[in-house]
Amino acid sequence: MAADIIVKAVMIGLAFASLVTWTIWLAKSLEIFGGKLRIRRAVRAIGDAATLSQASRALDRSGGPGALLVRAAEEETALSAGALDHVSGDGLKERVTSRLSRIEAAASRRMSRGTGVLATIGSTAPFVGLFGTVWGIMNAFIGISQAQTTNLAVVAPGIAEALLATAMGLVAAIPAVVVYNVFARSIAGYRQILADASAGVERLVSRDLDFRTVGPATALAAE
């Protein structure tokens, strides 16, 4: 409490940064866990389906990007239905792939929100704490010159107050870096599962096109 106002402001800022880190850890952990659970269910439903309509029925009441992938493929197939009697399905596959990639990118960006704050805290907190330490030691030396003594009882309190700022900087930075790295690995795994779901939808679209070429009877049998 006896520290300089600048040092106090630094320590309060670092304490707030630490609070932000743990808040993001809790919120993002729940979000990633729920997102992985939903997309894994979608991958299983897509893998078990023989046609796109089967996958759509299985995910009819589901949310998340897995269901969005299937619905986007269905919408594009419906929009292209009139042209499929006159052209090959290569154009449809390209358009479906384009829409699925945009959904993947949007889901990945949404899952990555907040992690940039952790990276910022992890990289800047030690330097902010060091600034508080430098400022505090500078004031301690000014106090020494004014007291005109180097007695340890005079020197030690000011230096201890200054070093506390560096300690708080490390307390804020180390968890932020660790949590950021954990989230980076988890989000990479989420993106991989999302890519598996997208690839499954593309296989269903290709299979439906084959059924359309063979004939409606085969498609009905697959249903």
Dump pLDDT digits (tens) for 12-36: 999 999 999 999 999 999 999 999 9
Could you please report the per-residue DSSP string of 152-218?
HHHHHHHHHHHHHHHHHHHHHHHHHHHHHHHHHHHHHHHHHHHHHHHHHHHHHHHHHHHHHHH-HHH
Taking the C-alpha atoms of residue 82 and residue 96, their distance in angstroms, rounded to an integer, is 16
Taking the C-alpha atoms of residue 137 and residue 163, their distance in angstroms, rounded to an integer, is 8
Look-up of token digits 């046609």: 51
Domain boundaries, the chain: 7-126+172-222
pTM reported for the whole predicted model: 0.80
Taking the C-alpha atoms of residue 116 and residue 52, their distance in angstroms, rounded to an integer, is 37
- CA 206 to chain CA centroid, Å, is 31
Comparing 101 with 150, the larger pLDDT belongs to 101
Mean of pLDDT values over 47-74: 87
Single-letter amino acid code for the residue at 4? D
117, two tokens = 């704050």
pLDDT at residue 140 tops 80: no
Taking the C-alpha atoms of residue 83 and residue 67, their distance in angstroms, rounded to an integer, is 25
Identify the pLDDT of residue 219: 47
Taking the C-alpha atoms of residue 128 and residue 124, their distance in angstroms, rounded to an integer, is 6
Q: Give, in degrees to the nearest 5, the angle at Cα 182 between 177 and 187.
A: 125
- Taking only the tens place, the pLDDT of each residue in 149-204 is 666 666 777 777 778 888 999 999 999 999 999 999 999 999 999 999 999 999 99
pLDDT at residue 136 tops 70: yes
Mean of pLDDT over the chain = 85
Taking the C-alpha atoms of residue 197 and residue 207, their distance in angstroms, rounded to an integer, is 15
Taking the C-alpha atoms of residue 86 and residue 97, their distance in angstroms, rounded to an integer, is 21
